[in-house]
Each structure stands twice: as C-alpha cells, then as structure tokens.
Amino acid sequence: MAKSAKNLLIGSTEAYSGKSTTILGVIHQLHAKGIVVAYGKPLGTLPASQTNKTGEEDVKFVREILELPKDRVLEPLLSLDEKAIALRLSGEDTTNYNVQLESYLNEVSGDLLLLEGSGTLFEGTLFGLSALEVAERVDASVLVVTRYHSFLAVDSLLAAKQLLGSRLIGVLINGIPEELLETVNQEMRPFLETQGIPVLGMLPKNNLLRSVSVRELVQQLKAKVLCRRDRLDLMVETLTIGAMNVNSAIEYFRKGRNMAVVTGGDRTDLQLAALETSTQCLILTGHVSPQPLVLQRAEDLEIPILSVDLDTLTTVEIADRAFGQVRLAEPIKVKCIQQLMSQYFDLDRLVNSLKL
C-alpha cells in the first residue's frame, strides 16, 4: 500500500453481527465515488477444508461479488481452526503474525485498505491478531458492527469504545426491528454520540438477509432431494415444525411466510396442508417415504421435498443453526445489501472521518 493510503478495520462485538453486509455495502459505495479499495482478512475463519473450495471462503466471496482484481485482495495470514490453536498452545507455532502485518499490507494497492476482523474484538489474541492489535500495527481506524438484541447493545458499544479509544471511528447497529427504528434513533443514538461513539448506520432487520436457501439446508442436513431439485434456490425465512393435528396446523401454517416445514414422513395430512401455504420446502423425518399424491402436489407447486436420516429435534437444531450462521452468497441478497446500506449508512461521514 502507498504510505498515503488509509486503513480501515471492520470488527464486530459478536460473530454473525453483519460484517460481510457492511463490507459489501461500504466497498460498493466507495467504488461509486471512485475510491480504489483493497480488501483483506488477516485472520481466516472459514478455511477451504470446510468448504471444499480453495482459499478463504469469505475472501473469495467478496472478491467475486465486487469483482476485485488480485492485486487488491489479501488472503489470511492463517486460518483460525483447532489445528492452528493446538500448534500455538504447544509452542510449535511461534510466528509473530503481528509483525508480518506490515509486509502483508505491501502486497496490495489502493486508496483504502479495508480489513475484515474476526468474529469478536478479542478473537485472534492468541496470535497477536485481535482487532486492537491489528489496528495498532497497521494504524487503522475501526468501524464496529453490532447486532441489535435490545438496548443492552449500548454496553457492548461502550466496551468497544473503552477498548479501541480514538481508533473507533464509528459503529453500525444492525438488525433493528422496524417498529423500534424510531425509538433507537431517538434514544440510543443520541446517547452513544454524547459518549464519543459516532453512529454511522442503523440497519433495519431484514428477513431476506437472514434467510437460507433450500440448497444450504440440503447441504447442512445431508438431505436427499425427493423432488424439484431445480428449485433449491428458493429462500427460506422461517423454520416451522408440523406436529399438531391438521386443523391447528392449517391455521398455524397460514401465519408463516416462506417456510421450511419439518414434519414426519408419515404425516400426509400435514404435508398436504403445508404445501397449500407459503412453504418453500418440506423436510421429512422418520425414514418414511411420502405418499405419491404428496410428491405429485409438490411437483405441481414447484416445492422441493427433502428427506433426512435424522430425528425431528436434531433436524430442527441443525436447520436453526444454519439460520444463525447465514451467509450472503445469493445475488438477491447482495442487491438487498446495497440498497439497505445506501439508504441507512452515512458513507459521507465515514469518508470525511477517514479524510479520503
């Protein structure tokens, strides 16, 4: 990097707070302003061994979506996995990764180097690659992303300010329920600003961004696709369990939107009821094949049916985990991110603070 280039690290108070959302939106808007951005992730968290692909998955995704040339992308110095941690704890790995960061920066060019932090502000401390350690070594400003759970989010942001001090250039609060946006804006935002914490963005909760494709559920559940393999790109927003009587189920299903319905393979009545509502896929448990009329109805309605070799509880746990760790690979999500960030994130304030 040229010595005049700026460095910005995007960190988060907890895993899956929305760093990828922020990075995609920020880089997209900076490109529109003609600012040349390079991207890197010093500490990898999703190595190729977990994805059957080459390279760090997050880096590959950002590079492809934003069409960044190779000289503006940095692969991780190391991947944070059990093997790496074991080598560090045993003393076999004595590498000073923090010192390596300086030469790491010289491998890319641009007006701004945007670095993605790891899951939390403290993750990577074992290797000298926590958010603060990276920021201090490369003289980076830090933008912190936090997911809104309640007003208690203030505590995590105050703690981030105590930790990062003047390096904290601003925060983005993500996933705020629509009905609370005005309250958060009128009560939480002014308080944070008085504490020296600039609020650069407040993103409303978006069901599409928290959704999971049927294909992802197939992979996570190791499911067999019984019909409509051509519809695995359908997006699932909610997970519903069908285990009640059919009359109650119909009323219950009608309240759902873009559901994945988990039910027993022997519950033909519930399967048919689910297919007539806003269902994106059926997930059948119990090692029982569905009746031909169910398969035919699903074919007609273009709804995939999946079969799993798991009990209902385990199926729900795995599927629910997929929602908690959702990634942004689908093009429809990328467009949604760009629209949200354009509307709710103050890029001009960020650019001015960075003196770009």
pLDDT tier at 327 (50, 70, 90 boundaries)?
Answer: low
In this prediction, residues 7-30 reach a mean pLDDT of 91
What gap in Å lies between CA 304 and CA 306, rounded to an integer?
A: 6
Q: Specify whether the CB–CB gap between 47 and 133 falls below 8 A.
A: no
Least confident interval from 67-71, 290-294, 322-326: 322-326
Two tokens at 131? 């958010």
Most confidently modeled of 49-53, 103-107, 139-143? 139-143
What gap in Å lies between CA 88 and CA 94, rounded to an integer?
A: 7
pLDDT tier at 172 (50, 70, 90 boundaries)?
Answer: very high
In this prediction, residues 210-226 reach a mean pLDDT of 91
Better pLDDT: 106 or 124? 124
pLDDT of 321: 80
Q: Quick check: 244 pLDDT over 70?
A: no
What gap in Å lies between CA 260 and CA 212, rounded to an integer?
A: 10
pLDDT in tens, 253-287: 888 889 999 998 888 988 998 999 999 999 999 88
Q: Specify whether the CB–CB gap between 123 and 80 falls below 8 A.
A: yes
Exposure string (b/e) for 113-144, b if CB count within 10 Å is 16 or more?
bbbbbbbbbebbeebbbbbbbbbebbebbbbb
Number of other residues whose CB lies within 10 A of the CB of residue 29: 19
What distances in angstroms separate CA 114 from CA 25, 26, 166, 190, one per listed residue?
Answer: 12, 9, 18, 27
pLDDT of 54: 44
Two tokens at 102? 């300086």
Token match 């059948």: residue?
A: 284
pLDDT tier at 63 (50, 70, 90 boundaries)?
Answer: confident
pLDDT in tens, 146-165: 999 999 999 999 999 999 99
What distances in angstroms separate CA 21 from CA 79, 283, 354, one per listed residue?
Answer: 21, 29, 20
In this prediction, residues 233-245 reach a mean pLDDT of 82
pLDDT of 324: 64
Q: Specify whether the CB–CB gap between 284 and 265 falls below 8 A.
A: yes
What is the pLDDT of the chain when averaged over all its residues? Answer: 88
What gap in Å lies between CA 100 and CA 96, rounded to an integer?
A: 7
Residues 6+ apart with CB under 8 A from 348: none
Q: Percentage of the chain with pLDDT > 70?
A: 92
In this prediction, residues 230-251 reach a mean pLDDT of 81
